[in-house]
Amino acid sequence: MQRIAVLASGRGSNLQAIIDAISTGELPAEVVGVFSDKPSAAALQRVAPGLRWSADARAFPTRDAFDADLADAVAACQPDWVVCAGYMRILGDAFVSRFRGRLLNIHPSLLPSYPGLRTHARALADSKREHGASVHFVIPELDAGAVVAQAVVPVHADDNAEALAARVLAVEHPLLVAVLRLAAAGRLAEHGTTITLDGHPLFTALRLDSAGVLHVPDDPESVSV
Ligand code: GAR
């Protein structure tokens, strides 16, 4: 059984999607810890008290000091995968190197477009017709790691940032679960800047279809994974 540690700063709906997929048997894994930089994060309440770790990042003298405590706590639960699911604090190089290759993030944009914050408002300001979410391996550069899979949603003419965020969030949940199913099955790996799926380099991010299945885009047989 694969051991998943989740980092979250807020509501935790992506964490809940993981928990739900585990409870239905869709995702053969267990959540071994939920870690937050915000002790009041609602995400923490979604798991048993023994699985929660939090510390107020603002009380630490430096980013590295907080990250060191966080990394020790995460390492102590011996995770196979560390998933940033709405974790809103930049992870320092030391944290990333310690967990590199098993560190994933879900980001609310079609990377490489819109790294960073306010992704929905920025997509609207640019009159984008499509927007979405990406799951990528974390590297020291913000939101710049290799993208495993994306889900696309349309942008409607009358959208505001909240409406668009809600449409994106609805596809984030199946996207994250689908990628974690690949990860838990041992099918996904990061080698430097390249991702492999079943041992073969993945040159294009997988795409989530409306049935929640991942596909290799541009593949003549549209391989499902
Ligand atoms: C999600 O939309 C996630 O993609 C985003 O925060 C939200 C968390 O929602 N993450 C980032 O913006 C990371 N840069 P949740 O707490 O309900 O899962």
Residue bearing the CA closest to ligand 1, atom 10: 86
Query: Rounded to an integer, what distance in angstroms lies between the CA atom of residue 218 and that of residue 186?
Result: 24
pLDDT of residue 224: 63
The stretches of 33-160 forming alpha helices (DSSP H) are 63-76, 93-99, 119-125
Ligand 1 atom with the smallest distance to the CA of 11 is 16
Name beta bridge partners: 207: 150, 215
Q: Using CA atoms, how far apart are residues 204 and 188, in angstroms rounded to an integer?
A: 14
Sheet containing 188-191: which strands, arranged edge to edge? 188-191, 194-197, 200-201
34 contacts 82 by C-beta, under 8 angstroms: no
Nearest atom in ligand 1 to the alpha carbon of residue 108 is 4
**All domains in the chain, ordered by first residue:** 2-224 (3.40.50.170)
Using the mean position of ligand 1's atoms as its centre, give its distance from the Cα of residue 196 in Å: 25
Cα distance between residue 224 and residue 43, in whole Å:
31
Q: How many residues does the chain have?
A: 225
The residues annotated as belonging to the active site are 107
The pLDDT tens digits for 111-159 are 999 999 999 999 999 999 999 999 999 999 999 999 999 999 999 999 9
Q: Is the CB of 79 under 6 A from ligand 1?
A: no
Q: Is 131 a pocket residue for ligand 1 (Cβ < 6 Å)?
A: no
Q: How confident is the model over 146-157, as pLDDT tens digits? A: 999 999 999 999
Mutate to test the pocket of ligand 1, among 114, 172, 176, 179 (most ligand atoms within 8 A of CB): 172
200-221: per-residue pLDDT in tens? 999 999 999 989 899 977 654 5
Quote the pLDDT of residue 223.
56
